[in-house]
Amino acid sequence: MPYITVGKENSANIDLYYEDHGSGKPVVLIHGYPLSGASWEKQTAVLLAAGHRVITYDRRGFGNSSQPTTGYNYDTFAEDLHQVLTKLKLRDFALVGFSMGGGEVARYLGKHGSKGVSKAVFISSVPPFLLKTPDNPEGVDQSVFDGIQKAVLADRYAFFTDFFKNFYNTDVLLGKRVSEQAVQASWNVAAGCSATASVACVPTWHEDFRNDLTRVDVPTLVMHGDADRILPISASGNRTAKLIKGAQLLVVKDGPHCITWTHSDEVNPALVNFLGQASNTQAVA
């Protein structure tokens, strides 16, 4: 299996597993918590058929990547992404982030700028800023995140079971847009992730990406379900679209958090259409 080494922890390398398929303009797909790059299967097939080169990778601590006990913050995640892009020598590439993956897209563009980046897509993503503070009164109380972290620490397997109910809105969509087997498959992937990562990623959900988003200067698409129970659209997708100049917002009616699976019939055509559009602000690699 192909790996890219992004650091070391004591005597062991920190390696990120990646897949690199197809040809044409590159699209880098960045997964959400607590899954892996394989969660993009419904998008990968469509993007390959549309003539794109498709790259997925597993975030440190997840999937087939190394499981270090360090580096679970967005500065490090963005640097990991930077190393993937550099090692693969990508040019004129699009960045697509789902959920936590949207944080990588935002922080990467905030830190490294848009050189080489053609477009950005945020799907059900964590930016711009979820924590309630004096300058962000519509945010979520710190106690909510503390409670989630406590639940993961106590029994992450039980936590994942409840988490995926709201990830897919199974009370409404089970047997219609998602099967019991698909939910179980997600749980299986989650159960295989690092115990450290499953806890340490929770505080990253309320990192402040507002300044990063103001630096996004490539064509951007924001997609979000209006029934998202993990990251409500009013707190995330709507605000992200407003903070990025010229961003397009696509609201998926009755869409849960994981619209990439349940509503792929809407997400995929929009994604292919957006990535296929000629860019007016093409970055020069």
Question: Is a pLDDT exceeding 90 seen at residue 123?
Answer: yes
What pTM was estimated for this model as a whole? Answer: 0.96
pLDDT tens-digit profile of 245-255? Answer: 999 999 999 99
Annotated domain spans of the chain: 3-276
Listed residue (10, 32, 4) closest to 126, CA to CA: 32
Strand order in the sheet with 12-21: 3-9, 12-21, 53-57, 26-30, 93-98, 117-123, 220-225, 248-252
Query: Which sequence positions are flagged as catalytic?
Result: 99, 228, 257
**pLDDT value, residue 1:** 86
Average pLDDT of 90-98? 97
Instruction: Give mean pLDDT, residues 115-137.
Output: 96
Q: What is the pLDDT of residues 230-247, one digit of tens each?
A: 999 999 999 999 999 999
* Spatial distance between the Cα atoms of 171 and 173, rounded to a whole number of angstroms: 6
Neighbour-count burial of 158, counting CB atoms closer than 10 A to its CB (0-12 exposed, 13-18 middle, 19+ buried):
exposed
Can you spell out the DSSP letters for 157-189?
Answer: HHHHHHHHHHHHTHHHHBTTTB-HHHHHHHHHH
- 70, 88, 83, 72: which is closest to 19 by C-alpha? 88
Output the six-digit token pair for 41.
Answer: 């299967």
* 144-203 pLDDT tens trace: 999 999 999 999 999 999 999 999 999 999 999 999 999 999 999 999 999 999 999 999
CATH number of 3-276: 3.40.50.1820
